[in-house]
């Protein structure tokens, strides 16, 4: 049962700094036909954040309507309806960050897709492991002929993290690390990645903080990104390295 419950915990969040009230999210329709899951997963993980700067990212989640065999290999609860699942706490958030679900009570019926928002400003650099805690209620038939009994058990999920770096925003005039061309009409290159100490990850996000691309930066000198098909506006390239996170602003015309 524990393995089953842990499978329901892949919940996600987004951050937006400077709001007087919690920002809201809308479940992404591209996942509506999925039986269950969380998007992005813990392999993609949350985009890196920058100290004293706005942070925003979105993760959608969905539990199945009934317990499936791949979630419960023992078969003990397969076919039992999932009445509801509820996010109870999110532990390990950077100081200054909060979370808000698109449901006021952070409660969802089985088979219903939801989302949550991480938001706030953090003044301390570091890597913050995130643990998501929730309750899952399954309707279990304990005795034949009697109505199903709601059985609620706590569960937790670890694997997400937020890396808060110390670097500031770099403009294209920085000779060490530069995006070119900038402004860009379509594709652009990020050059000078090897000048950063132990660069490990490079991501592309839009102005709302949505993760568009994530790649391994180890050993890279140059990396190319394609903005074709994306709307005009501001985009950010984040490079995680041993001393923090470098962020380059890129404008698409």
Can you give the pTM of this predicted structure? 0.59
User: Residue 21: what pLDDT?
Assistant: 63
Q: What letter does residue 165 receive in the DSSP assignment? A: E
User: Residue 166: what pLDDT?
Assistant: 61
User: Residue 9: what pLDDT?
Assistant: 35
Low-confidence stretches of the chain (pLDDT beneath 50): 1-20, 168-175
pLDDT tens by residue, 183-236:
999 999 999 888 887 888 999 988 777 889 999 999 999 999 999 999 998 888
CA distance 73 to 70: 6
Collapsing DSSP states into helix, strand and coil, what is residue 5? helix
User: Residue 167: what pLDDT?
Assistant: 53
pLDDT tens by residue, 15-24:
333 334 678 8
User: Residue 8: what pLDDT?
Assistant: 37
CB 59 within 8 A of CB 47: no
Residue corresponding to tokens 């449901």: 103
CATH class of 169-252: mainly beta
The residues of the chain that CATH labels 2.60.40.1930 are 169-252
User: Residue 127: what pLDDT?
Assistant: 82
CA distance 161 to 112: 25
CA distance 177 to 196: 8
């Amino acid at each position: 049962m524990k393995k089953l419950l842990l499978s329901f915990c892949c919940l996600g969040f987004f951050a937006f700094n400077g709001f007087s009230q919690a920002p809201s999210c809308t479940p992404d329709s591209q996942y509506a036909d999925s039986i269950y899951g969380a998007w992005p997963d813990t392999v993609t993980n949350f985009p890196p954040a920058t100290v004293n700067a706005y942070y925003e990212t979105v993760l959608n989640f969905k539990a199945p309507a009934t317990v499936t065999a791949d979630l419960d290999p023992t078969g003990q609860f397969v076919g039992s309806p999932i009445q509801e699942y509820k996010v109870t706490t999110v532990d390990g958030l950077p100081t200054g960050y909060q979370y808000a679900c698109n449901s006021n009570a952070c409660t969802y019926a089985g088979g219903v897709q939801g989302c949550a928002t991480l938001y706030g400003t953090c003044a301390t650099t570091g890597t913050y492991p995130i643990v998501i805690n929730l309750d899952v209620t399954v309707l279990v038939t304990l005795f034949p002929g009697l109505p199903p009994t709601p059985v609620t058990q706590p569960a937790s999920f670890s694997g997400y993290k937020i890396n808060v770096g110390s670097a500031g925003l770099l403009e294209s005039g920085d000779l060490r690390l530069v995006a070119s061309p900038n402004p860009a009409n379509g594709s652009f290159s990020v050059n000078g990645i090897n000048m950063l100490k132990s660069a490990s990850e490079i991501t592309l996000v839009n102005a709302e903080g949505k993760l568009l691309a994530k790649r391994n930066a180890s050993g890279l000198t140059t990396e190319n990104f394609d903005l074709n098909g994306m709307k005009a506006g501001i985009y950010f390239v984040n490079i995680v390295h041993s001393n923090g996170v470098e962020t380059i602003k890129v404008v698409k015309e």
